[in-house]
Amino acid sequence: MITCSHYDGFQELPKLEILKYACRVYNHSQRIKSIKLMKSSLSLLLSLSVAGYSTSLLSNSDLVDSDLLDSDPFESLLDEELPLVLSATRLKQPKAEAPASVTVIDQKTIKQLGIRSLAEVFRLVPGMTVGYERGHTPEVGYHSLGGENSRHLQVLVDGRSIYQPALARILWTDLPLALDKISRIEVIRGSNTALYGANSYLAVINIITFHPEDMLGHTGSITRGNHGIGDAQLSFRNTDDNFAVDITFGHNSDDGFEETEGGTPRIDGYQRNYISSDLVWHQNDNDFIRFQFGLSDSSKQVDDIDPNETTPFHLVDVSNSFLQLTSQHFLSAKHEVKLQAFATNTEIKEDWQTCSPALFLSEELYDLFELSPTYTDGVFLPALPNLPPSSGDPDIDAQALLVLDRLSQGGDQIVCGFANQDIDEQRLDFEAQWTGQLSSDTRIVAGLNYRRDKSSSESYFGGQSTKDIWRSFGHLEWQPASHLRVNIGAMLEDDSLIGSVFSPRLAVNWLVENNQSFRLIYSEANRSPDLFEEDNNRSYLIRNTTDLLGQPVEVNNQGTDSLYYQHASAPGGLDFEQITSWEAGWFYKNLSSGIELDIKYFRDALTDILEGRALITGNTLSNDGEVDLKGLELQLNWDISTKLRFWSTASKIDAYNNSLNFYRRSAPKSTFTFNSFYQLSDISSFTLSYYQYDEWFRVDFERVDASFGHTFMFGDYQLDTTLAIQHRLDDNYLLDDRNVYQDQNKIYAKATLKF
């Protein structure tokens, strides 16, 4: 499929002027005509591809909404001839020439499978795992280190990094992003710090959204199902000469899991409302300015923070917003400049009432913990009310006597107050990128990036923490011979808290033919400790303390606010986590049979991994972790006919030389996915899927999904309906032993009206 909205490649052929002319008209009625003209023009151009022009032509194409084009053999051939990827090098390349293992998931696949949440999409990727810390907190991992807040992945939405500055989390359910806004997702299965910076440690997920002009008309949808599933969305789109805009309002809700593995009820539901807007101004055929905005407000139930909480759960309110400005300008047919700036802001409000003995809020116990956390929690408090043994240190023993005296003066009285884990996170990012063609066999992309991360939190930082990051990157694609492609990339990154690091990447592709190649890749990548890991200052200020009757209590005779005795600070001095990767792969596509196959063998050495924990009881983080990973991945996409398609992935992973058993537990021995897509008629479709993880966090995961879609036409109105069913074949927990469904079936229906 072709897009009229923008070009990220090079206009090398005069023939492309036909395409550019056809793509110039953007109003609703003329746009349909221009697309039909474009298809006719491209049909002519495609006939010239035998003469060697196909790669150059298709390197300038992109994706649009499939609804814009009538289904015909030409469109299918165009899609299949040379599948393109952008994320591997920031240059458009056919998959056979890309120096990476790439999984591409398009909008049509997401829609046909009936997927309703972003994280669930990544079950389609070989070697990737999807689990949940809570019903509203997905965790996506690749190979190993799963369940670590997705902190070892780089996730981009239209080039905007979405991992959080302070805690390096991905707030999957708080993104102001509608699934039907996604044009395609490119997953680089491997390290790519050389182009995308720290956090591009194990894999890079690049989510590319439709431009507004690629989505004609307005839509409204509603989804209902069991487990409290309730979604709604309303989108408006308009084009006017050189301008195009869309705006979307949405709502999601879900009750989460029902119980823990031990049978204790869980309370972990959520609901959120969001708005997003996208405005594009086309200055001419190639240049554009794009402004994007999004805001999401959610409320989540949390039931497992504090055992002394006075209620079964409390709410966490999350406000997540962004502003993004992107400008693309062609200096000439072979030189392009792209500028991007974005700002993100996340405000999390979380407070709850907790009760404890007044002694726990006393200055005396706070000071004893400051002298020796081990003696305080391990010896002194467990011995009470008996006389604790001596510590052997006169200063500690003297302070212990003061604590005992405080205990005798009402220290055993139960007091209640409010604790909080409020946090504000901000990111400001500027990037300039130049892309050029130096010769007929050499292309280059280079750029500079500046980022400022800032976080404020009383409980996590005792105030504010900031860091500044400067990056310079470059990538060279060289064609020394018709059957060889050499890709060389590197990034120099300076982190004001951690230091500087250099990340190189080298790949060689040998093309047996246009649609078959072997590749060999070497890369070094890193992950920088986040603000919390390097600079945390943990403490809880308990506010508005009262007795059990609700009467105000001044624990330290200095008002009704007192610090909880446990507290900890990061020692600092952490270094970058490192990974050295080797990859050998084979890509094969057979146009006549419709088979596309990618096989990857990998060996990764992960070193300087952060081990330990950053708790209020103490901070033990250090760069002492290591693990080696090796294995095999397979990805098969088989278009048997226009009505039947299979998608299957498999992986085999071996974790060894590990310093912690966690690295083995977080790496499933194998994963397997099989998806079948049946086009029953022009208006009906059916999908059947199977997902399996072998020994992931000690248990197996197996699930079967089915989805049926049918379209109804009412004059100018189109109603798309989907019925989706997910059935767990096992009764195990999912990632965390607190996450179990009593009802193993999740069923929901969606109706979308296009008008």
550-571 pLDDT, tens digit each: 999 999 999 999 999 999 999 9
Please give the angle made by the CA atoms of 175, 452 and 163, to the nearest 5 degrees.
30
Question: What is the C-alpha to C-alpha distance for residues 507 and 563, in angstroms, rounded to an integer?
Answer: 55
End-to-end CA distance of the chain: give it in Å, rounded: 23
Bridge partners of 524, per DSSP, are 580
Can you read off the two tokens belonging to residue 211? 């431009």
Return the amino acid letter for 650. A
Can you read off the two tokens belonging to residue 202? 């194990």
Find how far residue 129's CA is from the centre of its chain.
12
- Which pLDDT does position 145 carry in this prediction? 87
Question: What is the C-alpha to C-alpha distance for residues 87 and 445, in angstroms, rounded to an integer?
Answer: 12
Residue 696 φ/ψ, nearest 5 degrees: -100, 115
Residue 497 φ/ψ, nearest 5 degrees: -95, -30
160-194 pLDDT, tens digit each: 999 898 988 999 999 999 999 999 999 999 999 99
Model pTM above 0.85:
yes
For the chain, give the longest Cα–Cα distance: 94
Which residues of the chain fall short of a pLDDT of 70?
1-83, 148
Cβ-proximal residues to 440 (8 Å cutoff; 6+ apart), any chain:
none
Q: What does 699-715 look like in DSSP terms, one character per residue?
A: EEEEEEEEEEEEEEEET
Is 87 in a helix, a strand, or coil? coil
- Which pLDDT does position 502 carry in this prediction? 96
Cβ-proximal residues to 45 (8 Å cutoff; 6+ apart), any chain:
15, 18, 19, 53, 57
Bridge partners of 325, per DSSP, are 291, 341
Can you read off the two tokens belonging to residue 136? 């509203």
- Contact (Cβ atoms closer than 8 angstroms) between residue 623 and residue 609: yes
Whole-angstrom CA distances from 722 to 136, 230, 254, 642, 745 are: 23, 14, 18, 20, 16
Question: What is the C-alpha to C-alpha distance for residues 52 and 59, in angstroms, rounded to an integer?
Answer: 13
- Contact (Cβ atoms closer than 8 angstroms) between residue 681 and residue 707: no
- Contact (Cβ atoms closer than 8 angstroms) between residue 547 and residue 560: no
Can you read off the two tokens belonging to residue 269? 């539901």
Cβ-proximal residues to 667 (8 Å cutoff; 6+ apart), any chain:
143, 144, 146, 629, 653, 654, 655
Residue 165 φ/ψ, nearest 5 degrees: -65, -40
Helices 73-81 and 28-47, interaxial angle, to 10°?
A: 60
Can you read off the two tokens belonging to residue 517? 């190649």
Going by C-alpha positions, the residue among 591, 598, 538, 606 that lies closest to residue 567 is 538
- Which pLDDT does position 82 carry in this prediction? 55
Question: What is the C-alpha to C-alpha distance for residues 646 and 117, in angstroms, rounded to an integer?
Answer: 22
Find how far residue 271's CA is from the centre of its chain.
20
Question: What is the C-alpha to C-alpha distance for residues 675 and 684, in angstroms, rounded to an integer?
Answer: 17
Cβ-proximal residues to 130 (8 Å cutoff; 6+ apart), any chain:
119, 120, 122, 123, 138, 139, 140
Q: What does 16-46 look like in DSSP terms, one character per residue?
A: HHHHHHHT---SHHHHHHHHHHHHHHHHHHH
SS (H, E, C) 456-510: EECCCCCEEEEEEEEEEEEEEEEEEECCEEEEEEEEEEEECCCEEEEEEEEEEEE
Q: Please name the helix (run of DSSP H) or strand (run of DSSP E) that holds residue 208, with its range, or none.
A: strand 203-209
In this structure, the number of other CB atoms found within 10 A of the CB of residue 541 comes to 16
Question: What is the C-alpha to C-alpha distance for residues 553 and 546, in angstroms, rounded to an integer?
Answer: 5
Question: What is the C-alpha to C-alpha distance for residues 505 and 488, in angstroms, rounded to an integer?
Answer: 6
Whole-angstrom CA distances from 552 to 366, 415, 556, 663 are: 21, 9, 12, 48
The structure tokens 């990037």 sit at 431
